Amino acid sequence: MDVPPEDHVGNQETQPLLDEGIGMYSEDMDRDNEPEYITEYGDGTESAQRAQRPNGATVLCRVCDVPVSLEGRNQQHVVKCHSCDEATPIRPAPPGKKYVRCQRDPGTAIRAPTGSCRVKCNHCNEIFLFNTLTNALANCPHCKKYSTVGNFARRRALLFFVLAATVAVLAVILTMLTNASTFNKIYMVPILIGLYGCALYTAYKSFNYYTCRKSEIIGPVRKEKMVCVLGIEGSANKIGVGIIRDGEVLSNPRATFHAPPGEGFRPTETAQHHRQQIVRLVGEAIREAKIEDPEKEIDGIAYTKGPGMGAPLQVGAIVARTLSLTWKKPIIPVNHCVGHIEMGRLITGADNPVVLYVSGGNTQVISYTNKRYRIFGETIDIAVGNCLDRFARVLKLPNAPSPGYNIEQLAKNGKKLMELPYTVKGMDVSLSGILSLIEKKAPKLIETGEFTPEDLCFSLQETVFAMLIEITERAMAHTASRELLIVGGVGCNLRLQEMAAAMCAERNAHLFATDERFCIDNGAMIARAGELMLASGMKFDLRKTTITQRYRTDQVHVEWRD
């Protein structure tokens, strides 16, 4: 139904699309000197690719007018406000996307009044903002059609029906009481015509309101309470504690256990390192977050349940249970892989991307559907990070800052490509054979001078990453996705990001990636997943807050997503 705009029809809706050229940055940021973004490969140096926006750069939220920090958000088209959970565009929409802005004026961000909610249009299924406290029909800015929110239309239909009935009865009574002499008086004819016309008009309005479609309220713009969660990550050689409040990272300290060169980290030694560092990190995280009373300010304790190494996982779980009992706070066991995904979505602003999750213990291509993160493809033996780390031991590369990073630096100077097995099996990859071959041949090839260590690192990276990009592109084609998110420790590799960016450019898609602060295991990612789980109403019995070394991504019921 199309109802013409009248006085009672509100204009609380948003204007579609961000106008190009609108200044969205705060005054203390110079857009002309804005550094390169991390996904713009081929332009600028490596340092420019990794550059961040200036410290303190902010943008005003389009809904609640709260400053939103741009730190660490290098590639997204929108930034998410930690106060109202709404996204604010900071540049024109990518192909096939559209943004909406709050209220009437597309040139300024106007505060949404109390009662503003996210509404799903019954006509076109698009989501827009509407103030439910106004006595008005909602006008969708996408399809330009009107619908009702709540019971407003039914109440208005009843009101017009009563009014129509009253006017009709009055007109009939006047007609019956009018005698012939009075009826002949000229002024009674227009009065009766007006009454009957008013009755017909109000009856028509009642029918229109009664048949008006009803749009669904998705949720309020503002939350009643800001959720603050402390997260503990300790599934491998890194122990981290992070605190997040409504999507804002307040603190994220961590410590890394480095094994001697040529050796890997063992569970017992790693767990001992975590026990030595965890108390200090908890205190440091609380101080950095400027939390004075954790018992009152923190709403939940999240920890990594798995997957990971058993002994290090135990350290995080024990500390989390201790804090939960001490502060009388709910405890949330988090899947490590889901933590990576949700942190990547938060930092980059990706909506529903295909996820390439690459780390020391996991290699998966993932997409979300029907309350699960579905695994489209994965390694059938060892993870890509483990493959790189083990080859770094062959070359006696140091473990600091990480073996994979050191291989990446050597590979930049490689000039000769060694042919290696290219093992893609359907949507899965196999990496153990490649590693066995290059481990066996590397010492002799280096000794004879046929290949340098740089050439071998280059060859291994190119082959393995090409396999990963191939299965990722297949997943994107299957899901018709235009977004790719890379998470996990190996996701920091610039060469992998460069290859992914080239693939996305050919598909007219967009690549999202983060830097070392959030790619590598950290406590904030566990806090973020725990925050979403806690806000969605998920509760866990303390007796069931255990650990498991095998905990697949698709085992998690994603209650917090539509």
Interatomic CA distance for residues 135 and 4, integer angstroms: 15
**Is residue 55's pLDDT more than 50?**
no
Among 217, 244, 265, identify where a domain stops.
Answer: 217
Residue 319 contacts by C-beta under 8 Å, 6 or more apart in sequence? 232, 278, 279, 282, 303
Residue 182 Cα to chain centre, angstroms = 75
Between the ranges 130-144, 157-171, 331-345, where is the mean pLDDT highest?
331-345
With cut-offs at 50, 70 and 90, classify the pLDDT of residue 562.
confident
Tokens of 162: 């009563």
Q: Pick the last residue of a domain from 217, 245, 279.
A: 217
Say whether both 195 and 277 belong to one domain: no
Helices 310-327 and 267-288 cross at an angle (nearest 10°) of 30
The enclosing H or E element of 146 equals: strand 146-149
Q: Distance (Å, rounded) from C-alpha 6 to C-alpha 395?
A: 76
- Based on DSSP, count helices (H) and strands (E) in the chain, helices before strands: 15, 24
- Which amino acid does the sequence have at 117? C
Does the residue 165 lie in any domain?
yes
Residue 63 lies in a domain: no
Single out the residue of 195, 9, 357, 133 nearest to residue 365, CA to CA.
357
Distance between CA atoms of residues 171 and 288, nearest Å: 75
pTM: 0.64
Please say which residue of 191, 217, 243 terminates a domain: 217
Note whether residue 316 is domain-resident.
Answer: yes
Q: What is the pLDDT of residues 59-117, one digit of tens each?
A: 777 666 677 777 666 556 667 776 666 667 776 555 554 444 433 333 333 344 445 67
18, two tokens: 């961000």
Do residues 284 and 372 share a domain? yes
> Does 168 fall in a domain?
yes
**131, 238: one domain:** no
Backbone angles phi, psi at 192, to 5 degrees: -70, -40
Domain co-membership, 422 together with 289:
yes
Q: Per-residue pLDDT for 38 more than 60?
A: no
Tokens 């004026």 appear where?
A: 105
Same domain, 326 and 366: yes
CATH number of the domain bearing residue 549? 3.30.420.40
Question: In this structure, are 542 and 401 located in the same domain?
Answer: yes
Answer whether 364's CB lies under 8 Å from 378's CB: yes
Same structural domain, 554 and 425: yes
Residue 80 lies in a domain: no
User: Where are the strands (E) in 407-517, listed by range?
Assistant: 424-425, 428-429, 483-487, 510-513
Q: Which comes out higher in pLDDT, residue 329 or 126?
A: 329
Spatial contact of 354 and 472, defined as CB atoms under 8 Å apart: yes
CA distances from 298 to 1, 222, 243, 339, 531 (A): 48, 19, 9, 19, 11
Model confidence pLDDT, tens digit, residues 371-415: 999 999 999 999 999 999 999 999 999 988 889 999 999 999 999
Asked, for residue 494, whether it belongs to a domain, the answer is yes
Please tell me whether residues 256 and 330 are part of one structural domain: yes
| Structure-block tokens of residue 404 | 């994979």
Q: Examine residue 54 and state whether it is found in any structural domain, yes or no.
A: no
From 33-42, 183-192, 233-242, 323-332, the region with the lowest mean pLDDT = 33-42
Whether the per-residue pLDDT at 39 is higher than 80: the answer is: no
Is the model more confident about 425 or about 101?
425
393/491 same-domain check: yes
Number of domains in the chain: 2
Lowest mean pLDDT among 157-161, 214-218, 373-377: 214-218
Residue range of the domain that includes 146: 117-217
Query: CA–CA separation, 81 vs 503, rounded Å?
Result: 31
> Is pLDDT at 170 greater than 80 in this prediction?
yes
Task: Pick the more confident residue, 30 or 212.
Answer: 212
Token pair listed for 205? 């309005």
Say yes or no: 402 and 474 in one domain.
yes
Answer whether residue 155 is part of any domain: yes
Q: Are the C-beta atoms of residues 212 and 1 closer than 8 Å to each other?
A: yes
Question: What pLDDT, on the 0 to 100 scale, is given for residue 515?
Answer: 86
Are 333 and 557 contacting, i.e. CB atoms less than 8 angstroms apart? Answer: no
pLDDT score for 4: 39
What values do phi and psi take at 114, rounded to 5?
-55, 135
Give the pLDDT mean for 349-375. Answer: 95
Q: Give, to the nearest 10 degrees, the angle between helix 188-210 and helix 152-177.
A: 160
Residue 460 phi/psi, 5-degree rounding, is -65, -45
Cis bond upstream, residue 307 (ω within 30): yes
Task: Examine the domain organization and report whether 386 and 500 are in the same domain.
Answer: yes
The better pLDDT of the pair 543, 334 is held by 334
pLDDT score of 220: 58
Could you give the CA distance from residue 399 to residue 389 in angstroms, rounded to a whole number?
9
Alpha-carbon gap, residue 79 to 76, rounded angstroms:
7
User: Could you read off the pLDDT of 453-511 as tens digits, one per residue?
Assistant: 999 999 999 999 999 999 999 999 999 999 999 999 999 999 999 999 999 999 999 99
Query: How many of the other CB atoms lie within 10 Å of CB of 519?
Result: 25
Task: Say whether both 262 and 385 belong to one domain.
Answer: yes
| Residue 509 and residue 483 in contact, taking contact as beta carbons nearer than 8 Å | yes
* Residue 228 banded pLDDT, cuts 50, 70, 90: very high
More confident call, 189 vs 272: 272
CA-wise closest residue to 542 among 232, 301, 303, 331:
331
